[in-house]
Amino acid sequence: MHAPDLIERSFPGRRSDLKRSILRAALACFNEVGIEATNIETIRARCETSVGAIYHHFGNKEGIVAALFFAALDDQAALRERYLQQAQTAQAGVEALVRSYVEWVDAQPEWARFVFQSRFAVANGPFKEELLSRNKQRNRQLTEWMSDEGRRAAFSHVPAELLLSLIIGAAESYARAWLSGRVQKSPKEYAPLLAQAAWASISQTSA
């Protein structure tokens, strides 16, 4: 029995077979020709279903984009949470954030490409309020972890809205370069260096 992929984990059960087929076809189309160049007919032809079935499940193309985007972020967050559960110190938490990020990108390159190209569309489209709500919910555990009395001091000098950018920024920049083919080595191979750089960027003792 094969291990469930991201779409199966996000949309389990036999009743979701058609929905998964549509999403797989859409993800492939979006990554091959881009979101703007893909239309419902392109997706319909690829998954050999009806236009009506696509609209029934997702409403429109924006609904498909959002469903894929939210599934990717939730999957990424689940891995992040598993890493964070093992981290006891502030430095270990920063390393967990970086390592979980690069491990996810390494394991899910097609999804990572899609996330990068779709982020602006979702954040500025009809699902922007849902994105804000989901982000708030998704980051609640991270906020609680960082607010623990034993770790709070390590992060208190960094503005909250800047913290994740400092921690993930270098890993995200390298991940983009890898996904576009500008560099050859996976970001996972540089996880120790990226984690070290992330900690140095926020640690008061690194100055």
Question: Which residue do the tokens 């500008």 mark?
Answer: 182
So what's the pLDDT on residue 30? 97
Q: Is residue 104 within 8 Å of 94, Cβ to Cβ?
A: no
Q: Is residue 106 within 8 Å of 187, Cβ to Cβ?
A: yes
So what's the pLDDT on residue 205? 53
CA atoms within 13 A on the CB side of 2: 5
Token duo for residue 85:
């559960």
Cα distances (angstroms) measured from residue 193 to each of 166, 181, 185: 14, 20, 13
Q: Is residue 167 within 8 Å of 196, Cβ to Cβ?
A: no
So what's the pLDDT on residue 207? 43
So what's the pLDDT on residue 206? 46
Token duo for residue 107:
């394991």
So what's the pLDDT on residue 124? 95
Other C-beta atoms closer than 10 Å to the C-beta of 179 total 18
Angle between helices 17-33 and 40-47 (to 10 degrees): 120
| Residues making up the chain, counted from first to last | 207
Task: Give pTM, 2 decimals.
Answer: 0.91
Token duo for residue 80:
């992040």
So what's the pLDDT on residue 160? 81
Q: Is residue 69 within 8 Å of 115, Cβ to Cβ?
A: yes
70-85 burial code (b ≥16 CB/10 A, e <16): bbbbebbbebbeebbe
Question: Which residue do the tokens 């989901």 mark?
Answer: 134
Contacts of 23 (CB under 8 A, 6+ apart): 7, 11, 64, 67, 68, 71
Mean pLDDT (10-residue bins), the chain, 207 residues: 79 92 97 96 94 95 97 94 92 96 97 97 96 87 79 83 92 98 97 97 68
- Domain 6-206, what architecture? Orthogonal Bundle (1.10)
